[in-house]
Amino acid sequence: MYTYTDFDEAFVRSRVAQFRAQVERRIDGSLTEDEFKPLRLMNGLYLQLHAYMLRVAIPYGTISARQMRQLAFIADTWDKGYGHFTTRQNIQYNWPALKDVPDMLEALADVQMHAIQTSGNTIRNVTSDHFAGAAGDEEADPRPYAELLRQWSTDHPEFQFLPRKFKIAVTGAEADRAVIRSHDIGLQLVEKEGQLGFKVIIGGGLGRTPMIGKVVRDFLPEADLLPYCEAIVHVYNTLGRRDNKYKARIKITVHENGIDTMRELIEARFKEIRPEFTGVDQELLAGIKAQFATPPLRKGDVAAYEAAYQMDPVFRAWADTNLTAHRDADHAIVTISIKAHGKTPGDATSDQMRLMADLAEEYAHGELRISHEQNVILPHVHKGDLPAIHAALKAAGLGTANIGLASDIIACPGMDYCALATARSIPIAQEIATRVDELKIEHEVGELKIKISGCINACGHHHVGHIGILGLDRAGVENYQVTLGGDHTETAAIGTRMGPGFSAEEIVPAIERLMLAYLDLRDAPQETFLQTFRRLGDAPFKAALYPESEARNAA
Amino acid sequence: MPKPFTPKIVTANALIEGDVIYLTNNGEWSRRHEDARLFNDEEAANAALAAAALQAGEIVGAYLADAAQGTKGPQPTHFRERFRATGPSNYAHGKQVEL
């Protein structure tokens, strides 16, 4: 894992000191709220419905056991004993008091973490594949590049006042687990004639006008990464619209100017600035790469795993859903579900955080990951240790076997916390998960991505859910729109809106009807919900959603 | 045609804690919605909001919210204000347990 240099350390500490002074000046009245707001946002501090909210970056989703313990300490000391993991690999604290935030930032700095650029019109936390460095299918570990991008983008003088926020995701595999096609820049490591480089995608985004990103460069040599990204953001910074907040993201810039014009401008700027990158960045990268070396994987007996798999049906169900193939056959990638049925998706208590940190330390080389799907991952686990890990997780309410299934729901905080929300998301997620657990159908239904957003900004990725749910305010009542057929992976697609929305009471039965309809409609148990939808189209699913209008039409 | 004026309260968040607060009859801030002063007159509501906005040392983000007279005092009419007056639905946190 990456360890801060003296430069990183000094930078983060000086930002904490600056913010401490800014908070003091706000409290003593020397700064107005208008003056203070951009300063607090630069440090990840929002004001929400009930309280302030501090958003802390977990760069490319990688976190050490020590850092996880510190997150638990912060939750206990200055918040209400829990944290919320988000779809952008951040953790949010929902109840800090303004006066305590500098101390929270100091505590983060103590473990080489920060909240810098987790808000505002800047380049945000660079995200990545949560299986990076462990998955069998990747060209190379994307995280060193993500770290290089983090260093380049942090306090970048040209990019502190972009037209709008800017999000970059990097993956090392063709199988896209980082939603790169919904990012402002999506990067995929690829190999061409023995050389490592990137497929570069720009202009993806969800929100009010969802767009799938477009390829701007099929192959970018590894060494050109920073100048090329700098050229992209430069062109966006120049052309991006500042007249209309809803047209300010690069997806609109690409849409309005066309990908070919964007490519020409980016390539021209790239030519201009390429000579300024003299190779210092590549020396840095080499140093960073060394820090992401795979930990020494032990050899040894996996008999304990095989015995538990044969004997214990609870373990077997968990192993079948929550384990992913590691590139070493004796190891596995463990996904810990932060989606127990009926609980808030992505919320972990401080006790759970400490337990996960302990398990990481004891069994997984001290490393954890946070996924955009709001779960926690132990990336390198010897299979012989899996029964012990499962037992410990189960005892702490973290043993839910539902990864990739109907109750593994992405949900934004919605109107339970967020000042921008138009409806609640969390209770809908809780009720759907509770219902599928009552029906005991999710293992039969199989792979199903349900994603819920509480407003059009789409933090809950509803457009790319197999089933997407969008909460709106319709004449003073919460109303939920359903989209189907979305896909966040390498076959990315924006879901199709089905029809009139549902009330808070109607939405869960409507989702249940969709699942039951799918079980009737599928060709074979192997055909997933998404495949069935793609084969049959809207009609049979609409009929399930709106049985009354179906009955009317038949009459 | 401008929309007819509906009764309003002045609400904001407390500067230090971030708590939801309401402007009362005597010009102070209360954590309880039912303590809020209900303005039936648009001009008076706007004047109170303008005055509140000057209290930057105590409050953040003052605005006018719709409310209706209830038995114990003003009650929220929109669900967003109802959530602000109680707290989140997923935990017993906030006003629903603190007041």
A interface with B, Cβ–Cβ below 8 Å? 26-27, 29, 32-33, 47-52, 80, 94-99, 344, 347, 415-417, 424, 426-427, 430, 473, 476-478
Contacts of B91 in chain A (CB under 8 A): 80, 344
- For residues B22 and B28, give the distance between their C-alpha atoms in angstroms, rounded to a whole number: 8
- Residues A371-426 have pLDDT tens digits of 999 999 999 999 999 999 999 999 999 999 999 999 999 999 999 999 999 999 99
Q: Does the distance separating the beta carbons of B61 and A50 come in below 8 Å?
A: no
Q: Which domain holds residue B38?
A: 8-92
What's CA A369's distance to the chain center, in Å? 11
DSSP string, chain B: -PPPP--EEEEEEETTT--EEEEBTTS-EES-GGGBPPB-SHHHHHHHHHHHHT-TTTEEEEEEEEEEE-SSSEEE-SHHHHHHHH--SSSS-THHHH-
Q: Does the distance separating the beta carbons of B88 and A50 come in below 8 Å?
A: yes
* The predicted structure's pLDDT at residue A109: 98
Is the confidence at residue A554, as pLDDT, over 70?
A: no
> Which residue in A has a C-alpha nearest to residue B78's C-alpha?
A476
Is the confidence at residue A459, as pLDDT, over 80?
A: yes
Is the residue at B33 inside a domain? Answer: yes
* The predicted structure's pLDDT at residue A27: 96
Is the confidence at residue A189, as pLDDT, over 90?
A: yes
**Lowest mean pLDDT, pick from A383-387, A549-553, B8-12:** A549-553
Mean pLDDT across A487-493: 97
Residue B16: phi and psi, rounded to 5, are -80, -50
- For residues A521 and A227, give the distance between their C-alpha atoms in angstroms, rounded to a whole number: 50
Mean pLDDT across A445-455: 98
Residues A172/A140, Cβ–Cβ less than 8 Å: yes
For residue A452, list its beta bridge partners.
Answer: A411, A469
- For residues A392 and A168, give the distance between their C-alpha atoms in angstroms, rounded to a whole number: 35
Is the confidence at residue A435, as pLDDT, over 80?
A: yes
Q: Residue A415: which of B17, B56, B83 has the nearest Cβ?
A: B83
Tokens linked to A134: 């462990």
Mutation target to probe the B interface, by most B beta carbons within 10 A, among A22, A49, A350 is: A49
Q: Does the distance separating the beta carbons of A416 and B89 come in below 8 Å?
A: yes
CA atoms within 13 A on the CB side of A113: 30
**Domains of chain A, each with CATH number or no CATH:** 6-109 (3.90.480.20), 135-291 (3.30.413.10), 320-395 (3.30.70.3340), 410-554 (3.30.413.10)
Is the residue at B41 inside a domain? Answer: yes
CB pairs under 8 A between A and B: 74
> pLDDT band at A173, cuts 50/70/90?
very high
Residues A54/A320, Cβ–Cβ less than 8 Å: no
A296 CB neighbour count, 10 Å cutoff: 7
Percent of chain B's residues with pLDDT above 90: 89
Percent of chain A's residues with pLDDT above 90: 98
Angle, CA A538 vertex, CA A537 and CA A542 arms, to 5°: 150
Query: What mean pLDDT value characterizes chain A?
Result: 97
C-alpha distances in angstroms, A432 versus A345, A435, A454, A461, A471? 12, 5, 15, 17, 14
Tokens linked to A392: 């410990």
State how far residue B78 is from chain A, nearest Cα, in angstroms: 6
Q: Does the distance separating the beta carbons of A29 and B91 come in below 8 Å?
A: no
Element (H, E) at A316: helix A313-322
Q: Does the distance separating the beta carbons of A49 and B15 come in below 8 Å?
A: no
Tokens linked to A494: 């924006």
- For residues A143 and A59, give the distance between their C-alpha atoms in angstroms, rounded to a whole number: 9
Is the confidence at residue B1, as pLDDT, over 70?
A: no
Residues A201/A182, Cβ–Cβ less than 8 Å: no
Is the confidence at residue A555, as pLDDT, over 70?
A: no
- For residues A132 and A141, give the distance between their C-alpha atoms in angstroms, rounded to a whole number: 6
> pLDDT band at A360, cuts 50/70/90?
very high
Is the confidence at residue B2, as pLDDT, over 90?
A: no
Number of structural domains found in chain B: 1
Is the confidence at residue A51, as pLDDT, over 70?
A: yes
Residues A486/A210, Cβ–Cβ less than 8 Å: no
Of the candidates A398, A419, A420, A424, the one whose C-alpha atom is nearest the C-alpha of residue A508 is A424
Residues A398/A314, Cβ–Cβ less than 8 Å: no
CA atoms within 13 A on the CB side of A244: 6
Q: What is the residue whose two structure tokens read 């050109």?
A: A224
Contacts of A52 in chain B (CB under 8 A): 18
> pLDDT band at A551, cuts 50/70/90?
confident
- Residues A335-358 have pLDDT tens digits of 999 999 999 999 999 999 999 999
* The predicted structure's pLDDT at residue A552: 75
C-alpha distances in angstroms, A494 versus A412, A487, A514, A522? 18, 7, 18, 22
* The predicted structure's pLDDT at residue B55: 87
Residues A222/A139, Cβ–Cβ less than 8 Å: no
Is the residue at B1 inside a domain? Answer: no
Mean pLDDT across A312-329: 97
